[in-house]
Copies of this chain bind each other. A is one copy, B any other.
């Protein structure tokens, strides 16, 4: 049933997935009475390697303590591990300074953090009724709703770039969308629903021309490609740990130092202060200013281990692996009758998440029948409902790959879709 098609030739640039998969215990899962798990839901969350789990375990078993405030051994160890994770993440994204890396609970908090900073900022950053906010129609809800809230609460106007029929940003009206009134442009680097990789440079250039800040949602980029915040040219970059072989409960916001100095805090509490009296308080310098309360200590340390794991394999190699696999998957999916790709149809400027519809079989049904064969995909609007509205579809089925995904899993998907068609045919 899942025999590889006879014509399959070796793909160039693949990683040694046999070795890699040994690091990921969950990939050995067997589901539905003996079916081997084919995990193609990596855009939702990734599996975790033993190396990350061991790091968590040994933190809790040996060095668990609250950070920053203690003089005892465990507190010193925990602090060194936590701050060491910040160093690792800073290096991973080529941040000019470790103090530019803020730990949050997820990418959504990172994005909300920027929206709130700007809402409470003084000039020249302040977003208010005379200003404009720019996003795009392919954003994840986590990069839409914070801006809708900010616009409702400040009176600022929310604008956005539309999409072309082939799943790319329509930048033809960039001069009208990003104007002198624009305070912030926030957009996704790699779309979680379409797979599109967006053209950063054109947007950053225009934003800089009008003096707007730029926030990049790199949630689907950080796991899959080398990320260099300096090369991107943005002011803020947000991403999330659980999609990049790290634990849940940890996200990152990178921000330019002088902005982090100037912008006001968001959450108030322990750790983020310099000195507190009942009458007033002053705040610690960044990044601590933006990390109120006991941080996700173990999770940050786990993310540090994740970043080590990915770096040891090499982000460029991971990108090449996924590119080859995506090309192969697009090719094979084209063989499936009545399958329509939602998003770019070639692997050019494209990530490893592939959304599609299958005739008029509802994605829920596609996903369920695939699941019965052990194949885990995601169905629905993928927290990007405006994209579904744009393309006039209720939802999509999405298969998404990662460094441990294999051509055989692509084949299993294609065979599985055949079964779906038979079932609902």
Contacts and interface: CB of A to CB of B under 8 A. Distances in A.
A288 to B, nearest CB: 12
Contacts of A249: 105, 247-250, 295-299
Residue among A142, A158, A242, A275 facing the most chain B CB atoms (10 A cut-off) = A142
Nearest to A110: B293
A313 interface: no
Contacts of A294: 45, 106, 108, 240, 242, 248
A371 to B, nearest CB: 4
B31 A73 contact: yes
Given A248-B296, A267-B112, A367-B72, A26 B60 contact: yes
Chain A residues touching B, range: 35 or more
Residue among A265, A268, A281, A295 facing the most chain B CB atoms (10 A cut-off) = A268
A53 B295 CA distance: 19
Contacts of A111: 269
Given A73-B371, A75-B41, A371-B73, A145 B26 contact: no
A115 B378 CA distance: 36
Nearest to A38: B72
Contacts of A267: 108-109, 112, 146
Interface stretch (A6-14, A62-70, A195-203): A62-70
Contact of A74 (B29, B109, B141, B242): B29
Interface string A40-74: 01001101100001001100111111100111111
Given A72-B371, A367-B71, A145 B53 contact: no
A328 B107 CA distance: 47
Contacts of A278: 137, 144, 158, 160, 386
Contact of A293 (B72, B109, B265): B109
A386 B29 contact: no
Contacts of A70: 41, 44, 367, 376, 378-379
A52 B145 CA distance: 35
A299 B45 CA distance: 15
A276 interface: yes
Interface string A137-150: 10011111110110
Contact of A376 (B75, B273, B298, B370): B75
Given A269-B112, A367-B71, A26 B64 contact: yes
Nearest to A278: B386
Interface string A349-382: 0000000000000001001101100011111101
Given A41-B72, A105-B109, 18 more contacts: A25-B60, A41-B65, A41-B70, A56-B56, A69-B378, A73-B376, A105-B293, A108-B270, A143-B269, A144-B281, A145-B269, A145-B281, A148-B280, A160-B278, A249-B250, A249-B297, A278-B386, A296-B296
25 contacts: A31-B74, A41-B65, A44-B70, A45-B294, A57-B57, A60-B247, A65-B376, A66-B378, A70-B378, A71-B367, A105-B109, A106-B293, A109-B293, A142-B268, A142-B292, A143-B269, A144-B278, A145-B292, A146-B268, A146-B269, A247-B249, A248-B249, A248-B294, A248-B295, A296-B296
Interface of A: 25-26, 29, 31-32, 37, 39, 41, 44-45, 47-48, 53, 56-57, 60-66, 69-75, 105-109, 111-112, 115, 120, 137, 140-146, 148-149, 153, 158, 160, 240, 242, 247-251, 265, 267-273, 275-278, 280-281, 292-299, 364, 367-368, 370-371, 375-380, 382-383, 385-386, 389
